[in-house]
Amino acid sequence: MSQSVKAVLVARARLGECPVWDADGQQLFWVDAYNHRVHQFDPASGQDRYFDTGDVVSALVLAGRNRLLVALQNRLALLDLSTGEVTTLYTVEFPHPDTRFNDGKCDAQGRFWIGSVSQATGQAALYRYDPDGSFQVMETGLTISNGLGWSPDGTTFYLTDSAPAKTIYAYDFDAETGTIGNRRVLVDLSQEEVEPDGLTIDREGNLWSALWNGWQVACFDSSGQEKFRIAMPVQRPTSVTFGGPDLSHLYITTASVGLSQKEIQQGFLAGDLFRMETHTAGLPTCSFLAEQD
């Protein structure tokens, strides 16, 4: 892969995460989790504005006109982009005190899948929040429930457990019932120092995974075989998504949190937003409550 990665926004985010492409507005939404910010980036002008959520914000999905569904520390809430108002929809009592929501994404049926991260090994989980307001546990025994997505034909679900497992799992997915089963290991990076973080799927079914502490983004085919890796100028890529008019631009969020002064000097663009032109294209973004808007 010969394409070069280009910094498109000087953000210096502490923990940039969850880039989501809005095809209608041709804009990219993303979060800076520990600075409590939801960002709205316009690639055409290079302008970026942000909304203060007043709480750790780890994930977002489109939820209708001028509206996002966001995952906060232990709440799911609607963010009104016209007013900046945050309205709580659902509050969770996690079983372990050092647990918060983490990465999330909508399936094609408009259901929000959201994981958690715990300081205690095996105490995180994967949840599903439906448009009717129901909330249920879909997977347990995780520690850092992270990058997730679906195959282009909608029959396979992918889920990352970043650490200590360092594994991307594949599941059978039933779109009608919204259930998963038959978990198997797709990608095992446990022998490396890197941690697989956020991921996205392209139209050919390949998985693109940001490698935390790896200075790279990796691409795997649907069988889990590695195809190539893309060098990054920063140590901690966090998540990826496809955007642009034809969904061929790969956007990459990054983090500066936890880096020493020496490490920041080695990767002084840590926390910035990056983009790379690719020879493939991503899948359309799925929205929450789309059928009501």
Annotated binding-site residue? 102? yes
Buried (b) or exposed (e) across 127-141, using 16+ Cβ within 10 A? bbbebeeeeeebbee
**Quick one: pLDDT at residue 3?**
65
pLDDT averaged over the chain?
96
Which residues are CB-neighbours of 276 under 8 A, at least 6 positions away? 3, 4, 5, 6, 230, 249, 250, 252
**Quick one: pLDDT at residue 1?**
47
Triad 118, 123, 125: Cα angle to 5°: 90
Within a domain: 197: yes
Q: Is 135 left (phi over 0), alpha (psi -120 to 50) or beta?
A: beta
> Is the per-residue pLDDT at 45 higher than 50?
yes
Annotated binding-site residue? 161? no
> Is the per-residue pLDDT at 15 higher than 60?
yes
**Quick one: pLDDT at residue 43?**
98
Annotated binding-site residue? 49? no
Within a domain: 114: yes
Which DSSP state fits 64? S
Within a domain: 132: yes
Annotated binding-site residue? 35? no
Residue 186 to residue 188: CA distance in whole angstroms: 7
pLDDT digits (tens, 9 = 90+) for 123-133: 999 999 999 99
**Length of the chain, in residues:** 293
pLDDT digits (tens, 9 = 90+) for 82-137: 999 999 999 999 988 899 999 999 999 999 999 999 999 999 999 999 999 999 99
202 token code pair: 């392209």
Annotated binding-site residue? 100? yes
Point out the residues that are catalytic.
197
Mean pLDDT of 287-291: 73
Within a domain: 72: yes
Domain that holds residue 117: 6-292
pLDDT digits (tens, 9 = 90+) for 243-254: 999 999 999 999
Residue 174 to residue 157: CA distance in whole angstroms: 9
> Is the per-residue pLDDT at 290 higher than 60?
no
| Domain count of the fold of the chain | 1
256, 213 in Cβ contact below 8 A?
Answer: no
> Is the per-residue pLDDT at 292 higher than 80?
no
Which residues are CB-neighbours of 48 under 8 A, at least 6 positions away? 9, 11, 39, 40, 41, 42
Within a domain: 1: no
pTM for the complete prediction?
0.96
CATH number at residue 171: 2.120.10.30
- Determine the straight-line distance between the first and last CA of the chain, rounded to whole angstroms: 40
From edge to edge, which strands make up the β-sheet containing 112-118? 99-106, 112-118, 124-129, 135-142
290 burial class (0-12, 13-18, 19+ CB within 10 angstroms)? middle
Within a domain: 236: yes
